[in-house]
Amino acid sequence: MNTANASRHEVDSEWVHIQYSEASQFKTVYGFSGQQGVVHLEGVRYVPRGVKSDTLLIYMHPASTLQLLPMPNAMAANGVHVLCAASRYARNDTALIMEHVVRDLGAYIRHAREQWKYRKVVLAGWSGGGSLSLYYQSQAEKPTVTHTPAGDPYDLTQAGLQPADAFILQAAHVSRAVVLQDWIDPSVLDEHNPDIRDESLDLYHPDIKPPYDAEFLARFRQAQRERVARRTAWVKEMLAELKRRGGKELERGHILHRTMADPRFLDARIEPNDRPIGTCYMGHPETVNSGPIGLARFSTLRAWLSQWSPDDTFAHGEKCAESITVPFLALEHSADDAVPQPHTRMVFERVKSQDRQMHVVQGATHYFVGQPELLQSTVELTLHWLRERGLCN
């Protein structure tokens, strides 16, 4: 696609503050947000200078802030009104409850339509924002959730969630829980002492090298599922014990060691694409595996069930996709060093939209690092899709 004639605009950025009332048993967010029954949300809206639009494109991640990502900035520079929305759990997912984040996203969409007067809203689910946006849209189109996975009352059927008018899924995985299960180190035998391990399942042991045979991979994947299941069982037992005690202790935090051990990072033969081998989006996987920053490294009991347990989370992209009927665009990055190769298509194939398209962006890494031309061509593809549906100038 020729991008030489793409229209570029100066972009004005605006700090966004939204607040709404919500009662809770106890605070799950440190500091100001959530104080005295009020949830405070912050975001950044990008408005191309001199460009009016009836449509707002919204990017949101459960825990990250996305205003520095290349795609939202590039879309705005090409004439699209963009909101990068942060949840109440911005930069800290320790106690994150996905149901709360769904309601946060709903507050932004309501504000966009009622205060900013946009007639159309397009959800753009990037990376971990994919499963969040899928969860939101499924509950806005077909609300069913009345409790969190931990059993706490939280009625999304009465939350007044407004469906988006279209959906873009880009470089996105099925769910945080599925990714954790794909990445967790199955060699850990003692959750309290990560040095007690089954060396035959240690992906980084010097005697275990790629390419991996089918028997090893099957045993490895089964052990990953078993480790996640053991942690989930412990979480449920602990929640039941706290409830049984009947005291003031309602929640507890815990640590999960070693959560970056996916054979796909080291073996190019597994679900091959253009991804770099021997690294991942966070750096060297062996270093990340034992480092302080990793998926689910710190979590509360309730947060584990809501965002990290594959059998319990409601934010499961494949399941949520079955309730989505709006126009749907899926973009897979072929050199993605974060999202497993099959995930975008797994979601796409379950979507019920009659109007749906999927494209593989050849050579694109997760963040388009050092790929400005590829970024711009992806923007042009997205703009064309939006224009065909009357969602872009």
Question: In terms of Cα–Cα distance, which of 28, 37, 61, 41 is closest to 129?
Answer: 61
d(CA 127, CA 130): 6
Backbone φ/ψ region at 271: left (φ over 0), alpha (ψ -120 to 50), beta: left
Backbone angles phi, psi at 333, to 5 degrees: -90, 120
| CB neighbourhood size of 224 (10 A) | 21
pLDDT under 50: residue ranges of the chain: 1-5
Length, in residues, of the chain: 393
Q: How far apart are CA 354 and CA 342, in angstroms?
A: 22
Give all domains of the chain, ordered by start, each with its CATH number: 11-175+313-388 (3.40.50.1820), 179-308 (no CATH)
Q: What is the pLDDT of residue 2?
A: 33
Element (H, E) at 83: strand 81-86
What is the structure's pLDDT at 1? 30
The per-residue pLDDT for 165 is: 98
| Buried b or exposed e, range 317-328, using 16+ CB within 10 angstroms | bbbbbebbbbbb
Sign of CA dihedral 263, 268, 270, 274: positive
Q: Is the peptide bond before 70 cis (omega within 30 degrees of 0)?
A: no
CA angle 171, 177, 181 (to 5 degrees): 100
- Contact criterion met (CB below 8 Å) for 179 and 173: yes
Beta bridge partners of 123: 58, 167
Angle at 275 between CA 360 and CA 292, to 5 degrees: 120
